[in-house]
Structure 1
Amino acid sequence: MAKKQKSSEEFIHHLYVHMNEVDQFVIFSGLTFKQFVLAFNPMANLLLLKHQYEEGSFNMHTQLDFVSKEDIPNFVKRVSDTDEDLCWIDFADEKGLNKLTPLEQAKLLYLSHKKESIGTPFLEKLSNRFVYHSSSREKAIKIYFKNLDDAEILVTHIFNNMVKEKLGNGGFFRKKEAKSTISMVDPDFLKAYRPYAKEGALLSLSKLEKPKRFEIEIRTLADYDFPDEVWDDLDVILSQSYDDLIKIP
């Protein structure tokens, strides 16, 4: 049980997570595109299905813009400054992109418009690992994961990086040697808490001074269908006891 109720301002960060194991997607709120890219850096090329980015390359076969993996840092910088919706699918190389059939291209356009997939969203020709769709109006990001374990990798990276920043050891697009810094939470450890994510859960990171450590409070939010409602009711949610607690030494 929680010993003391905290207001939302007393936490370092709140992350809403709702996982659908059957369709292999997770809905997040409190996640940024920059955080996502940092967790999976280096990224593959990105085929842009919905965007306002004007500096990308153009693929003649699909008549769609794309971002090469070399240009992703610039893309992240530009996109992070806007509130526009964003949808993309990663791909290995343009050779695979140029082999997409009209039906496969139509399915991608449906995916970007409806935010749901007709059949699998993972195409062998693209060797894609993700499908990413953000909505500023809904305050949500929906991500399809080819390997759902990547969801835990993403969540742990977000919180671990925040802890490192608080300890003076964070940064974006850091060199490989910085990756040797010890992780605070392991993705395999976090998988034990997946049942909460399947119900819809709020993960709240805070720092304690005595004893000096970080904690992640987990609250199930099964009654919430829309992430924006979570932020409207945040203080009410936090006034309730957490369902579980992850202690980070």
Structure 2
Amino acid sequence: MAKKEKEIEEYITHLYVHVNEIEHFVLFSGISVQQFIRHFSDLSALLLLKHRYEEASFNIHTQLEFVVNDEFNRFLKDFTERSTALCFLDFTDERKLNMLSPQEQAELLYIAHKKETLRLPFYHHLQNRFVYLTDESQEITKIYFRDTEDFNHLVASVFNQYINEKAKTTAFWRKKNNIILPELTTEKVETYADYYEDGVLMSLFKMGKTNYGIEIRSLPENIFPDEVLGDLKLHLEKSADFIIEL
């Protein structure tokens, strides 16, 4: 008997990933700023290049605003209540902002306006690990990563967050809360690195009572990243190229 194809409703979530290794950025669809900051919750501060958050602190040297770690939750709550286009990067200490040259400040403004860079956007004084850009709908998010490992950890974290949330709503897990949840490791994410450069759809589903799977499908080069999740039915008609079992 032929294996029954899954319906869209049987999937928990989908994530589109397209890696540009040369320019150190990744295009995502299906990721939220809440998930991103939840994963990078240990960051000291965020320099806001484009936003509408009214409670941010102000740096006189750069004439830019920022939020420190203690304000992350308030910042996310504000964004949830009124989504806006966002552009920010991390930094360690406000004193480092005062060391940015006029050229570097101009580059930051260019990034916020054009959503692209004049050069790799990683600054010696700031020691930033990423630059995050998204529109108010979050249909497409562009993230520059200094280190590929941060990308691998983020993808694993996003799927593990969904698995944890699914477990909380399942009576089976509530009765047996000593059971260890399945987890996507960064090693498994890295295994398929060669395919991310062409753009892939990663689809999480539940395989049984205690295990999950992630289907990976390579997508055509001529697609528009912000339309991938709107065309799920079309993409899911294609058989998965690989399945990661968790």
- TM-score, normalised to structure 2, is 0.90
What displacement does 1:224 show? 4.1
What displacement does 1:94 show? 1.0
What displacement does 1:212 show? 4.5
What displacement does 1:168 show? 2.3
Contact 2:201 2:217 in 1 (8 A): yes
Which residue in 1 is equivalent to 2:193?
194
Map Cα deviations across residues 201-245 of structure 1 (whole Å, 9 max, x no partner): 100001123x74211001111334422221232101111101110
Contact 1:25 1:143 in 2 (8 A): yes
Which residue in 2 is equivalent to 1:26?
26
For 1:65, what is the secondary structure of its paired residue? strand
Which residue in 2 is equivalent to 1:123?
123
Give the direction of change, closer, same or farther, for the CA distance of 1:195–1:82 in structure 2 (3 Å limit).
farther
The answer to whether the aligner puts 1:110 opposite 2:116 as a matched pair is no
Map Cα deviations across residues 188-213 of structure 1 (whole Å, 9 max, x no partner): 2210111221110100001123x742
Give the direction of change, closer, same or farther, for the CA distance of 1:196–1:3 in structure 2 (3 Å limit).
farther
The amino acid of 1:222's aligned partner reads P
Give the direction of change, closer, same or farther, for the CA distance of 1:74–1:246 in structure 2 (3 Å limit).
same
Give the direction of change, closer, same or farther, for the CA distance of 1:183–1:208 in structure 2 (3 Å limit).
closer
Which residue in 2 is equivalent to 1:219?
217
Stretches of structure 1 that go unaligned for 5 or more consecutive residues are 170-180
Which residue in 2 is equivalent to 1:232?
230
Give the direction of change, closer, same or farther, for the CA distance of 1:151–1:182 in structure 2 (3 Å limit).
same
Which residue in 2 is equivalent to 1:87?
87
Structure 1 runs (4+) greater than 3 angstroms displaced:
none
Query: What percentage of aligned pairs have identical amino acids?
Result: 44
- TM-score, normalised to structure 1, is 0.89
Aligned length: 236
Contact 1:25 1:148 in 2 (8 A): no
Contact 1:138 1:227 in 2 (8 A): no
Give the direction of change, closer, same or farther, for the CA distance of 1:222–1:149 in structure 2 (3 Å limit).
farther
Map Cα deviations across residues 158-205 of structure 1 (whole Å, 9 max, x no partner): 111211222229xxxxxxxxxxx7661110221011122111010000
For 1:199, what is the secondary structure of its paired residue? coil
Deviates more, 1:156-165 or 1:237-246: 156-165
Stretches of structure 2 that go unaligned for 5 or more consecutive residues are 170-179
For the aligned residue pairs, the C-alpha RMSD in angstroms reads: 2.0
Q: How does 1:92-103 map to 2 (within 5 A)?
A: 92-103=92-103
For 1:240, what is the secondary structure of its paired residue? coil
Alpha-carbon separation, structure 1, partners of 2:148 and 2:82: 28
Map Cα deviations across residues 24-74 of structure 1 (whole Å, 9 max, x no partner): 111111000110111122222111100011010011111111111221111
The amino acid of 1:153's aligned partner reads H
Which residue in 2 is equivalent to 1:3?
3
For 2:234, what is the secondary structure of its paired residue? helix
Which residue in 2 is equivalent to 1:162?
162
Contact 1:110 1:117 in 2 (8 A): yes
The answer to whether the aligner puts 1:245 opposite 2:209 as a matched pair is no
Q: How does 1:62-77 map to 2 (within 5 A)?
A: 62-77=62-77
Which residue in 1 is equivalent to 2:204?
205
Alpha-carbon separation, structure 2, partners of 1:13 and 1:102: 43
Deviates more, 1:221-230 or 1:108-117: 221-230
For 2:82, what is the secondary structure of its paired residue? coil
Contact 2:24 2:120 in 1 (8 A): no
Alpha-carbon separation, structure 2, partners of 1:212 and 1:93: 43
